[in-house]
Every structure is written in C-alpha cells, then in structure tokens.
Amino acid sequence: MSRLMLGRTLERICKAVLLLCLVHFLIMMILYFDVYSQRFDIFSRFNNGRGVNSSRGPHHYYYNFSRPNTTFASYLATADHLLPSTKPEANHTPPTPKPLPPCPEVPPGLVGRLLIEFSSQITLERVQRENPNVTEGGKYTPPDCRPKQKVAIIIPFRHRDNHLKYWLHYLHPVLRRQKIDYGIYIINQLGEDTFNRAKLLNVGYTEALKDAEHDCFIFSDIDLIPMDDRNLYHCYDQPRHFAIAMDKFGFRLPYAGYFGGVSGLSKKQFLKINGFPNEYWGWGGEDDDIYNRITLNGMKVSRPDVRIGRYRMIKHERDKHNEPNPQRFSKIQNTKNTMRKDGISSLMYRVVSVKKYPLYTNISVEIGKPPPRPLKG
C-alpha cells in the first residue's frame, strides 16, 4: 500500500515537472517570436526609409565609434534620422531678422574737418569704385541702423558736368559716414533760356516724391562742398541753413537773412511756405524770398556752428543766361503778398527724361521762359 502511494506521488511530481517544462517552452517561444517580429519590423522600416528618402542622400547605417569624443549617446542622436518620424515635418522658415537699431544722433565714423581741393582729375568711374554701396539712381541706405528720415538731395543744374564729378566725389562718402538714407536728384534745365534756380528746386521736390516717400529735402548748389562732415545733412525742427561760412565770403555769414547755397526743409516745413517762388528768373533774390517765407510763417532758421558750417566753392565764371535779376529787390519786398499764389501750388513744367545713373538720378525738364519785362517809360 505504501509503495502504491509512493508511486502515485512520483507520477504526480513528474507530470508537474513536465507541465512546467511545457509552460517554460511556450514562454520561450512566445518571447522568441516577439523579438524576431520586432527586428523584422525595424529592417522593414530601414528599407522603406531608404526607398522614400533616397533623394536626401545616402544613409549611414554604421557609426564609427573610433572617432574622438564619440559616445553611444551621440550615436543614438545621430541615428534618429534612420527611423521615420511619426510627426509631420515642420515648415523650416528662416528666422526673422532682428530689427535694426536707430541710427545714432552723432554717427561714430565722422572725421570732422575735411581737406577739399579741386586740382585732381576726377572721373565718374573712380567715384563709383569708391562708393560701391551706392545703388542705381544715387541712393544709399545704412546697412547697420535705421535712419529717422528719408532724404532727397536736390541740385539745380545746367552745363556743370565737371562740378558734378567733384560734388559726387566728396558728398557720397560724407553722406554715407553720416548714416543718411538718401537719394541724389540732378534737376537739369534744358534749353538756353534764363536760368531759374528756385523753380528747379520746386521741380526736384515734386519729382523726388514720385520716386520715393521722402520726408526731408536738402537743396544744394552744385559748386558748394562742405568742409566738415559733422555738418549733418538731415532736417531739423526748424528750416536749416547749412552753408553759413563760405570761403568766398571769408568764412562768414554775409548778412543775417542769408539763406543761400545749401538749405534743408522737412516736407511739412516746405508745404507750410508753399515751396519756393517760381518767378525769380536769373541770378539772385530767391534765397531771400525763401527766408522771408520762413519768418512770415512763424518759423526760424537754424544753423550749425560757424566752425562746422564751412564750405569751399568751386571757382567758375558766371553762367550765360544767368545774369543778375534786376527785379529781385522789388520782388523780395512783396513776398508776403506773393507767397500764397506763387510757389509749389502754381508750379508748371514738363519732364523730358528721367535717367538713373549709378551715382545720381538725372531729371531733364522744360520750365518755360521768363515773362517779358515791362518797358521803361
């Protein structure tokens, strides 16, 4: 009886061991096939990725751990591209550039007093080489700061090509150092009728606004070169007279109401005085009329320090058909009566051509003829 009980006990133990072995075998098979299926899925992804992304260049499935500073973590980071991402690819837009800072009130690159001479031969090709950042039409914008104003520099012109070369040679570098956003407009009076400086300046104001949204206007004679780059060519709270100390006047202001040579007005100031007079044919008087318009409209002329506002004039003979205007003195006395009807509001002219050269914009115009002078009785 005891042997029978012992045999049954051993039989049960053997069955239990066999059952455990069978369970163990099943578990091992399940784990084996699970791992195998995962490896198969990885290889299939590799193959799919190679087919889809073949245009991106060859994939490096082997990583060189012999390189300096190579770690397994760096391998994992590098190998991320082998597996397709479950996230949609983001649009890789370039980063938004940082806004430029405002240009300083006193640019750091100014040099102060300049040596101005007119004995050297100047060519436009040389000036262009010296100012590679000036763009077509004689325009320049500082690349490293944001100017407060957009300046149009307007020059009345006729038969002064040699003077133009010197003016461009000296002024482009000065304006760039001053961090001015500017364009240069040469207003060329066609024909040989009497010259009219102020009317050409009105034309320049009108045409410059057609070209760009200028808010500051500098009016300069072609034969005047500043001798100090601290004389900043932009507009101020009051109309600005820049050329206060010319060499031909002994570097002094000739009289208190003088406003000739080089001046500047903002768009608001210019419109407030109805621009410049159109009826000053010949030399003289128009700058005094402009001074009267400024004071009659409650504004004051601002000027730089006399040591900074120095100018050198290119010597030349008086132009033909620009003789002194014999009517200028009587016209100056009537500015109060004429400034509302004679100015930018009454301007008439015809543009013949507009040509943009590398260093300036040339606008050739016909502005008419002076009215016949009254006969002396």
Residue 108 exposed, middle or buried by CB count within 10 Å (0-12, 13-18, 19+):
exposed
Q: Is 323 helix (H, G, I), strand (E, B) or coil?
A: coil
- Cα 33 to chain centroid, rounded: 69
DSSP string, 85-103: PSSPPPP-PPPPPPPPPBP
Contact 199, 349 (CB under 8 A): yes
Closest CA relative to residue 174, chosen from 110, 90, 248: 110
Count of alpha carbons within 13 angstroms of residue 201, beta-carbon side: 29
3-class secondary structure, 245? strand
Active site residues: 221, 223, 283, 286-287, 313, 316, 318
The torsion angles phi and psi of 147, rounded to 5 degrees, stand at -70, 150
**Residue 17 token pair:** 């061991």
DSSP class of residue 251?
Answer: S
Interstrand relation of 150-157 and 350-356 (parallel, antiparallel or unpaired): unpaired
Dihedral (Cα; 284, 290, 293, 299), 10-degree rounding:
-140
Coil, helix or strand for 300? coil
Contact 365, 200 (CB under 8 A): yes
